[in-house]
Amino acid sequence: MEPDTEPASRYAVRAGSRFPPGATVMPGGVNFCVFCRHATSVELLLYATPDSPEPFQTVTLTSEHNRAFFYWHVFVENLPAHICYTWRVDGPHDAQRTGLPSDARRELLDPFARAVSDVLWKRRTAIESPQTRHAGHRAIVSEPAQSAPRARTARSLEDAVIYELHVGGFTRDPSSGVRHPGTFGGLIEKIPYLLRLGVTHVELLPVMAFDEQDVPPAAAARGLVNYWGYSTHSFYSPHPRYCTDPTRAAAEFRALTDALHRAGIRVLLDVVFNHTSEAGEAGPVINFKGFANDIFYQHDPCDVRRYLDYTGCGNTVNCNHPLVTAYIVHCLEYWVEEMGVDGFRFDLASVFVRDRHGKLMDDPPLPWAIESSRILSRVPLIAEAWDAAGLYHVGAFPGLAWAEWNGRYRDVIRRFVRGDPGIIGEVATCIAGSADLYADDGRLPTNSVNFVTCHDGFTLHDLVSYNGKHNEANGEENRDGSNDNLSWNCGAEGETDDAGIVQLRGRQARNLMAILLLSQGVPMILAGDEVLRSQRGNNNCYCQDNALSWFDWRLQEHAAGMLRFVRELIALRKRHASLRRRRFLTGRPAHGHAMPDVTWHGERLHEPGWHERGARLIAWTLGGEERDEAPLHVILNMDDAARRVALAPLEGRCWHRIVDTARDSPYDIVPSPREAATEHEHCQVEARSVVVLEG
């Protein structure tokens, strides 16, 4: 990671400009700018490399020449790209006013850094010995990523099939066979796999630079690290470990988005603007605490030294302060315009409705500022509509066009498939797009992002293989992770040689995947579920950067039948617009069709048994959405016994059984009705199975 040219012994400087913030390569040199309201003096330290023991030049800024309002800025002439830098600030030692005393010896990381290095970072040292000289994160002067302009994308997720994956874990296993495992480049090599699977969007777990050392002491003692990445410190910078050369981080990430776009796949980022890796009072000072502690975080109004924690991570971003709102919006716009991102999923987004003291706001500025941005108004925005303090906004997140992770969908479908009786009304509501959550205020089925598994919790394989979590490997004596998984192990806990249990687990996995892809709304699949990847019952692998979390590419062979099933299900969803309706189902004919858009049934036609306490079967007929589109008849039987189910009559057509999860591959799904068995007035549906018939 050497600079393009050797730095001179000393570079000339001039006043510079407060716009743009960060380090910006310009004709004749680099402009540096940082915000610090309480600073009385500021220094810029320049390093030749990320691990240089001493800066080759220290630039002292003065209020007279280098300050505009609360911004400090300087232009360094002829400075080459890829030089590293940090800041030092001094100011009033008034903890009651700023929340944290300034320390002129501590080096700070630029909050606007486009690339960072963590080769010298030691979190424990930063906490226990914060005055250690020239140790810590360093920002890297980064040139803009070069790429052709991209047409703005529409916000809609109408036809989306989202695939949630971890950039590092997707290719870090030796079985991936890529040239650069665990990197953006490694993911590029796996684009053909994504194309064959048929997904339309990838949702990347956090790729903004995060602190891998931010784990509890018990986990750190075991050599574990922050794997998921929900510990961001540099929101403008790609994570250095995902790059082959961190000095060219922006270019490497943009190469990934460009490659995915050429393949017709769009990119969503899981972003973490609810907290940072600086944690609470006992956490390290990295950047925001040193530059704008009183503005950037929520504090106890009775003692500003204490951080309010609605995230479970020690601090809460004060996201509705005007300057912080602007920082977040501009950052998101940067990732869209400069880095090629197509949309965002916001972690613990209910934090966005809290004011500086954590109280709820009627009209919080941040959600509205994001969705009304000229740039962000045209990309999907997805909220994880809850926070760690119990605030739950599913169905009610502020704004107009925000989609939401539908946690209620997950819970209802899990309960139904494991065999809970008497909830078919809730099941039908979820399958139909959750109109009870979204229709009353003009929202659409696409406001519901449906999922049965995600990174946080059991994988699909483990959901049908474990009754309880098994997180001992995390070092927390199995206390971490959710205790309420709504899972069923099918008769044995964990791995088993019992052929009957193994067969039933496969059927249950197919049931869950089939229901997900047959539901109105936006389906999201967890990477690896299509090949039944297991975490051996660990439902909280946030700290497991190892084979427990990585994608094992050998599973393509071992679980070839499941992989084929998921591919064909996605293809079925794409063939039938009736599974991707733009409006909620009404029970009336649409677009000139004679058949209603939906008709609900039970074992007998038009008798769904909404109020039967023991009901475990629901069926429905979907009329076509487009001209000449064939109707579908879907039957979900989660009972322990087979059922003989009546079929809706068709004029001049017959029903073809195209999906039957009770059958083994390749007979569980057929790609064309012409290859399927014909059914007439009734259909035999086996216990715990899903059947789909096409007219």
Structure tokens given for 172? 């870090």
* Pairing outcome for strands 84-90 and 41-47: antiparallel
Contact 553, 177 (CB under 8 A): yes
Helix (H) or strand (E) holding 563: helix 560-575
Q: Tell me the pairing of strands 617-622 and 632-637.
A: antiparallel
Which SS3 state, helix, strand or coil, does residue 304 take?
A: strand
CA angle 137, 143, 144 (to 5 degrees): 115
Q: Which two tokens stand for residue 406?
A: 């539908």
For β-strands 448-450 and 162-165, DSSP reports them as unpaired
Contact of 77 with 28, CB cutoff 8 Å: yes
DSSP 570-588: HHHHHH-GGGS-SS---SS
Residues in CB range of 675: below 8 A, 6 or more apart: none
221: amino acid identity, one letter? A
Q: Is the peptide bond before 445 cis (omega within 30 degrees of 0)?
A: no
Strand runs labelled E in 409-540: 448-450, 522-526
Of 107, 252, 342, 384, which one is the catalytic site residue? Answer: 384
Of 549, 557, 594, 563, the residue nearest 695 (C-alpha): 594
φ, ψ for residue 104, nearest 5 deg: -65, -15
Q: Which of 107, 309, 347, 625 is catalytic?
A: 347
d(CA 128, CA 276): 19
CA distance 165 to 159: 19
Strand order in the sheet with 138-140: 57-61, 41-47, 84-90, 138-140, 116-117
Distance of alpha carbon 337 from alpha carbon 618, whole angstroms: 46
Extract long-range pairs of 650-655: CB within 8 Å, 24+ residues apart: 650/695, 653/695, 654/678, 654/679, 654/680, 654/695, 655/679, 655/680, 655/683, 655/693, 655/694, 655/695
- Please say if 476 is a catalytic residue: no
Encode 88-125: b = buried (16+ Cβ within 10 Å), e = exposed: bbbbeeeeeebbbebbeebbbbbbbbbbbbbebbebee
Give the largest CA-CA distance in the chain: 88
φ, ψ for residue 68, nearest 5 deg: -130, 110
Answer for the pair 683, 578: CB distance below 8 angstroms, yes or no: no
Q: What is the number of H-type helices and E-type strands within the chain?
A: 18, 30
The amino acid sitting at 12 is A
Q: What CA–CA distance (Å, rounded) separates 69 from 56?
A: 29
Quote the CA–CA distance of 52 and 432 in Å, as a whole number: 59
SS3 of residue 560 by DSSP: helix
Backbone dihedral angles phi then psi of residue 565, each to the nearest 5 degrees: -60, -45
Q: Is the peptide bond before 3 cis (omega within 30 degrees of 0)?
A: no
Give catalytic status of residue 347 as yes or no.
yes
Q: What does residue 631 show for φ and ψ, rounded to 5 degrees?
A: -75, 160
Q: What distance, in Å, lies between the first and last C-alpha atoms of the chain?
A: 61
Return the amino acid letter for 74.
V
Report the amino acid identity of residue 194. L
In terms of Cα–Cα distance, which of 194, 224, 222, 162 is closest to 455? 162
Nearest CA to 396 out of 388, 385, 408 is that of 385
Q: Cα separations (Å) of 540 from 41, 163, 473?
A: 44, 19, 10
Token reading at 441: 């205020």
**Residues identified as active-site:** 347, 384
